[in-house]
Amino acid sequence: MTSRLSLPFTALSTADDVIAGVDLTGRRAVVTGGASGIGLVTARALAEAGADVTLAVRDPGAARRAADEIRAVSRADAVRVARLDLADRDSIADFTSAWTGPLHILVNNAGIMALPDLVRTPEGWESQFATNHLGHAALTLGLHGALASAESSRVVQVASSAHLMAPVDFGDIHFERRPYEPWTAYAQSKTAVVLFTVALAERWARDGITVNSLHPGGIMTNLQRHLDDDQLTFVGAKDSTGTTLDVPPGWKTPEQGAATSVLLAASPLVKDITGRYFEDVAVAPVQPDPAPGRSGVAPYAIDPAPARRLFDETVRVLG
């Protein structure tokens, strides 16, 4: 892996800045959660560059409206919609079995955050871990053949700086013994996303598949739908008068938030990079003292040993 990488972008660069001059004609992409927020911006940028884009979402109606929006503002015609519920193993299996032909770009963008109460899937899995990690893992593993059959394919894993709040607790991943805490659960799920990136990059390099993760930055999207006023204040989304801000100080617009996803999905500047964690459209430094509100990547999130352990545990539980 490359230790240093110089890129001509900044934290304020947008998806349009990153995609400028890139031609994705003939390439096929899947964007989970592509009907809104940074997923929609990512899908639009890829489509505008000529990719055949599939919006994989829980609500096909919303995705159809998003597809119409993409077509209306770009030259893109090949924008498709497919139902995908990452908390439903049958839905994931239906999606992967229905996919035919190569897949060049997979953007694992969808997610849920800070559910106020403990919610379990039918398998007994904690919902944030199940959706943010296990669901995307099942999808990605199920599409391995399609990714391997494409030339120089890419998997993009949308993680979060929240991973700096907690490692994966392998002794009690699903809060069966420890008290449930929304942010710890979210943080753990995003650490798992980064660890799985490391594991897949190690295994899939020989197949011509690069796998990278990223923190998009703080963006006001549907991701915050479960936060109450106190939590919105905690994350800095409200001003001193209690007004919720469209773009809080230090946060990004959806166009800026999608820039790093688009870089990893499409830019020739990172075509040989794999197993890395990016933020602000650049490789993130290692954060030696992980804590909420900090930047960089936690050492425990890129350690090959827990990455391999997570991979083995993920394959085991997915059966």
Record the pTM. Answer: 0.92
CATH class of 15-217+252-318: alpha beta
Q: Tell me the angle at which helices 304-318 and 182-204 cross, rounded to the nearest 10 degrees.
A: 100
| Beta bridge partner(s), residue 192 | none
Residue spans per domain, the chain: 15-217+252-318, 225-250
Are residues 105 and 29 in contact, defined by beta-carbon separation less than 8 angstroms?
A: yes
Backbone angles phi, psi at 55, to 5 degrees: -90, 110
pLDDT at res. 237: 63
pLDDT at res. 231: 61
Q: How many angstroms separate the Cα of 95 from the Cα of each of 98, 99, 104?
A: 5, 6, 16
pLDDT at res. 304: 98
Distance CA 75, CA 18 (A): 18
Pick from 32, 72, 76, 37: which is nearest to 55 by CA?
32
Are residues 186 and 114 in contact, defined by beta-carbon separation less than 8 angstroms?
A: yes
pLDDT at res. 63: 95
Catalogue the active-site residues.
186
pLDDT at res. 251: 76
Along the chain (319 residues), what's the average pLDDT of each consecutive run of 10 residues? Answer: 74 97 96 96 96 96 94 82 97 98 98 95 98 98 98 96 98 98 97 98 97 90 56 60 65 94 98 97 97 95 98 97
Contacts of 163 (CB under 8 A, 6+ apart): 187, 190, 191, 193, 194, 297, 298, 301
Distance CA 27, CA 50 (A): 8
pLDDT at res. 194: 98
Are residues 143 and 99 in contact, defined by beta-carbon separation less than 8 angstroms?
A: yes
Distance CA 133, CA 86 (A): 9
pLDDT at res. 234: 57
pLDDT at res. 1: 40
Q: DSSP assignment of 110-155, as one string? A: ------SS--B-TTS-BHHIIIIIIIHHHHHHHTHHHHHHSTTEEE
| Beta bridge partner(s), residue 51 | none
Backbone angles phi, psi at 267, to 5 degrees: -75, 135
Are residues 230 and 183 in contact, defined by beta-carbon separation less than 8 angstroms?
A: no
| SS3 annotation, 201-212 | HHHHHHHCEEEE
Pick from 278, 279, 295, 275: which is nearest to 287 by CA?
295
Tracing tokens 């999808």 back to the chain, one arrives at 139
Backbone angles phi, psi at 15, to 5 degrees: -60, -40
